[in-house]
Amino acid sequence: MPTSESPRRSLRYEVRHSDRDAVRTIVERTGFFRADEIDVAVELVDEHLARGLASGYYFVFAEIEGAVVGYSCYGPIACTMASYDLYWIAVDPTQQGQGVGRQLIQATEAGIAAAGGRRIYIDTSGQPKYAPTRAFYERSGFRCAARLVDFYAPGDDRLIYEKVVAEEWKSR
Amino acid sequence: MPTSESPRRSLRYEVRHSDRDAVRTIVERTGFFRADEIDVAVELVDEHLARGLASGYYFVFAEIEGAVVGYSCYGPIACTMASYDLYWIAVDPTQQGQGVGRQLIQATEAGIAAAGGRRIYIDTSGQPKYAPTRAFYERSGFRCAARLVDFYAPGDDRLIYEKVVAEEWKSR
């Protein structure tokens, strides 16, 4: 099993035009998102391509031998001092269970901490099909800080997960 | 004291170019917002002026003899079936305590219900200076559904207020 030290796997932080297709393919293949949500994922890539860091959307891509197998998209929350949203984190289904998600979330946390961020938030759904997603966030040190009942639709709650990035985290 | 039936007071739903200045003035005069937040309030007016309803930002203006004394700005939340955010509600300090805010929030709820909206959310701060704001939301039938500790800054929590707009509300 590849580890995060595997020479085959690497992280990339700059955004390329080819990432539009990579993001669309990965997000589609997870089977978790509607067409309009998939469009939003690609739009965030476009925003970064058009405006760079000023877009407020930062990316980490996980690659195996140059092919993108997962990514995260995050950014500072307007009108907050040091809070960040993790907008997207997705791994190609054929590459799940090998630590790619964990590597992406660790790199995301490192980027946020290095930029002075203190708190990270993730929105997700309370629906049963998201149980593995929620378990992943909890294993990664996030806790459910809020639940908005029926927010997305009747029977589909919004959960807000939170992780505090302590100052000492930087020195690890 | 003017009532909501006062012939002097009226509501307006279309957005005019002059509302840019009116919104800036009112939001500034409340004394509650930083310069960057005030800019955001005006940007939402600009978005509506540029793109109309497609902007996703809807407005209600309260006027007394043609002068804007308060406004609300709200809109549907992306990727939800029937949830709306109330982004801004502000009344000129010289006109507060006369029911303008109540009239604005009732008109906002009516607009949301008429559009098929079921739930309304408002973000606010847990800081002591927002106690009158929170009391206003609670008098208006909102309840605090979530608290994110230190979200805005150390000691500055984010509170999410929620109101369920029931179907039968439409027939009132």
Nearest to B162 among A77, A79, A148 (CB): A148
pLDDT value of position B169:
37
* Mean pLDDT score, B25-48: 95
* CB interface of B with A, residues 58-87, below 8 Å: 77-83
Phi, psi of A77 (to 5 degrees): -90, 125
Q: Is A44 in contact with B78 (CB distance < 8 Å)?
A: no
Q: Using a CB-CB distance cutoff of 8 angstroms, which residues of chain B are in contact with residue A149?
A: 145
Listed in sequence order, the DSSP H helices in A18-172 are: 19-30, 35-51, 100-114, 131-139
Torsion-angle region of A161 (φ positive above 0: left; ψ -120 to 50: alpha; else: beta)? beta
* CB interface of B with A, residues 20-39, below 8 Å: 34, 36-37
pLDDT value of position B5:
53
Which residue does chain B place closest to A148, by CA atoms? B145
For B101-154, the pLDDT digits (tens) are: 999 999 999 999 999 999 999 999 999 999 999 999 999 999 999 999 999 999
Q: Using a CB-CB distance cutoff of 8 angstroms, which residues of chain B are in contact with residue A77?
A: 151
Q: How confident is the model at residue B55 (pLDDT cuts 50, 70, 90)?
A: very high
* CA trace torsion A161, A130, A20, A63 (10° rounding): 80
pLDDT value of position B170:
41
pLDDT value of position A79:
85
Sequence-distant (≥ 6) Cβ neighbours of residue B24 within 8 angstroms = B38, B41, B42
State the average pLDDT for chain B: 92
- ipTM metric: 0.85
The 3-class SS string of chain B reads CCCCCCCCEEEECCCCCCHHHHHHHHHHHHCCCCHHHHHHHHHHHHHHHHHHHHHCCEEEEEEECCEEEEEEEEEECCCCCCEEEEEEEEECHHHCCCCHHHHHHHHHHHHHHHCCCCEEEEEEECCHHHHHHHHHHHHCCCEEEEEEEEEEECCEEEEEEEEECCHHHHHC
Are B148 and A145 a contacting pair at CB < 8 A? Answer: yes
Q: How many CB atoms lie within 10 A of CB B62?
A: 25
User: Where are chain A's structural domains?
Assistant: 9-171
Tell me the one-letter amino acid at B30: T
Mean pLDDT, 10 residues at a time, over chain A (172 residues)?
Answer: 65 98 97 91 97 96 96 95 96 94 96 94 95 96 97 96 71 37
pLDDT value of position B30:
94
Nearest to B148 among A40, A82, A160 (CB): A160
* Strands of the B119-125 sheet, one edge to the other: B9-12, B58-64, B67-76, B83-91, B119-125, B156-164, B143-153
The architecture in CATH of the region A9-171 reads: 3-Layer(aba) Sandwich (3.40)
* Mean pLDDT score, B70-92: 96
Half-sphere exposure of A69 (CA within 13 A, CB side): 22
Tell me whether A153 touches chain B (CB under 8 Å). Answer: yes
Nearest-Å Rg of the Cα atoms of chain A is 16
Query: Nearest CA of chain B to the CA of A61: how many Å?
Result: 25
Are B83 and A151 a contacting pair at CB < 8 A? Answer: yes
For B56-79, the pLDDT digits (tens) are: 999 999 999 999 999 999 999 988
pLDDT value of position B79:
85
Nearest to B151 among A40, A83, A150 (CB): A83
